[in-house]
Chain A
Amino acid sequence: MSFDADNKERQRKHPDPWYLPEIVSIEAVRVHFKKPVLHAVGPKRTETSEAVELRVRTVEEFPVRALSPALFIGDVVVNEYSAVDKHLYRFVSYETQRLKPGTRISLGWFGSDIKKKTKTKFTLELLREETR
Chain B
Amino acid sequence: MAVVPREKLKLRDNKELISPPALVAPLYQCAKAVTIVGFIPNATLDVRVDNSITISGAPGGSPMPAGCTLKLPAPLVAGQVVQARQHFQGGASAWSAPVTVRDHTLDYPTGPPRPEIDPAPVYQCGSRTGVNNLLTGSDVWITADMAEVGRVDGASQHQGVNVNPDYLLNQRVRAWSQLCNDPSPPSQEFVTQAPPAPFPGITFDPIFAGGQQLALNGLVNGARFQLSRNGVNQGTWRTWGVRHLVGLNPAFSTGEVFSATQTMCPNSPPSNPGTGVVQPCSALPAPDVGPVQEGDTSITLTSFVPDAEIRVFVNGVKTGDGSGPVVLLTKALQDGDTVDVLQVLGTCVGNTVQELQVRCMDPPIAGDPSVLDLFPVGNDDYDGGTTTSLGQTLHVKGTVYYPAEDDGKGQPFNRRVAEHGPIPIVFMAHGNHDASVPSHLGYDYFQQQLARMGIIAVSVFSNETNNTGLSATNIHRRADLIIASIQHFQNLNAGGDPVFGGRVDLSRVGLMGHSRGAEAVLVVPETITLQGVVIQCVISLAPVNAGASSGKPHGYTFLTILPAADGDVIDNNGAQFYDQAQPFPLRSQVYVYFANHNFFNRQWTNDDTNGGLPIMSRADHERVLSAYGCAFYRDRLLGHNTRGFLLGAILPANVQTGNVYLSYSLDDALTVDNYEDGNGINLNSLGQPNSQSGGLTATENAFSQTGATRFDDSFFGNTIGMVAKTKEANGTYRWALSRPVNLAGREIWIRAADVYDGTQPPDTTGFQLGMETTTGSVVWVDSDNVGGLPDAFSRRTYDLTQWYASDKTKTMPRTLRFPGHCFQKTRKAMFRAVRIRMNRRKARPLAFDDLQIVPK
Q: Show the binding face of A for B, using Cβ within 8 Å.
A: 13, 15-20, 37-43, 45, 64-70, 79-83, 91, 109-116
Closest to B542 in A: A66
A91 to B806, alpha carbons, bound, how many Å? 27
Interface of B is mostly: loop
Number of interface residues of B (CB under 8 A): 47
A–B Cβ pairs within 8 angstroms, 24 of them: A16-B610, A16-B803, A17-B608, A18-B804, A39-B473, A40-B473, A42-B547, A43-B472, A43-B547, A43-B548, A43-B549, A45-B390, A64-B432, A66-B597, A67-B470, A68-B432, A79-B471, A79-B546, A80-B473, A110-B469, A110-B470, A110-B471, A111-B470, A111-B546
Q: A37-B390, A40-B476, A68-B469 are in contact. List 18 more A-B contacts (CB 8 A).
A: A19-B803, A20-B803, A39-B472, A39-B473, A40-B475, A64-B466, A66-B516, A66-B597, A67-B544, A79-B471, A80-B468, A80-B471, A80-B473, A81-B469, A110-B546, A111-B544, A111-B571, A112-B804
Interface stretch among B218-226, B267-275, B562-570?
B562-570
Whether B654 sits at the interface, judged by CB under 8 Å, is no
Q: What's the least CB distance linking A74 to chain B, in Å?
A: 18
Q: Choose from A18, A81, A109, A114 the contact partner of B468 (Cβ within 8 Å).
A: A81
Pair A66/B568 contact, Cβ less than 8 Å: yes
Interface of A is mostly: loop
Closest to A37 in B: B391
Q: What's the least CB distance linking A114 to chain B, in Å?
A: 4
Q: What's the least CB distance linking B707 to chain A, in Å?
A: 12
Specify which chain B residues have a CB less than 8 angstroms from the CB of A79 in the assembled complex: 469-471, 546
Q: Choose from B467, B469, B472, B804 the contact partner of A116 (Cβ within 8 Å).
A: B804
Pair A116/B805 contact, Cβ less than 8 Å: yes
Most chain B beta-carbon contacts within 10 A, residue among A67, A79, A81, A116: A67
Q: What's the least CB distance linking B304 to chain A, in Å?
A: 45
A68 to B573, alpha carbons, bound, how many Å? 15
Q: Choose from A17, A39, A65, A109 the contact partner of B390 (Cβ within 8 Å).
A: A39
Q: Choose from A45, A68, A82, A114 the contact partner of B806 (Cβ within 8 Å).
A: A114
Closest to B471 in A: A80
Pair B515/A66 contact, Cβ less than 8 Å: yes
Whether B497 sits at the interface, judged by CB under 8 Å, is no
Closest to B437 in A: A64
Contact A42-B472, Cβ < 8 Å, known A67-B544, A109-B804, A113-B571:
yes
Closest to A18 in B: B803
Q: What's the least CB distance linking A35 to chain B, in Å?
A: 10
- Give B511-551 as 1s and 0s: 1 = Cβ < 8 Å from A's Cβ atoms: 00001100000010010000000000000001011111111
Q: What's the least CB distance linking B853 to chain A, in Å?
A: 34
Specify which chain B residues have a CB less than 8 angstroms from the CB of A67 in the assembled complex: 470, 544, 568-570
Q: What's the least CB distance linking A89 to chain B, in Å?
A: 8
Specify which chain B residues have a CB less than 8 angstroms from the CB of A45 in the assembled complex: 390, 476
Contact A69-B472, Cβ < 8 Å, known A18-B802, A45-B390:
no
A58 to B844, alpha carbons, bound, how many Å? 48
Whether B474 sits at the interface, judged by CB under 8 Å, is yes
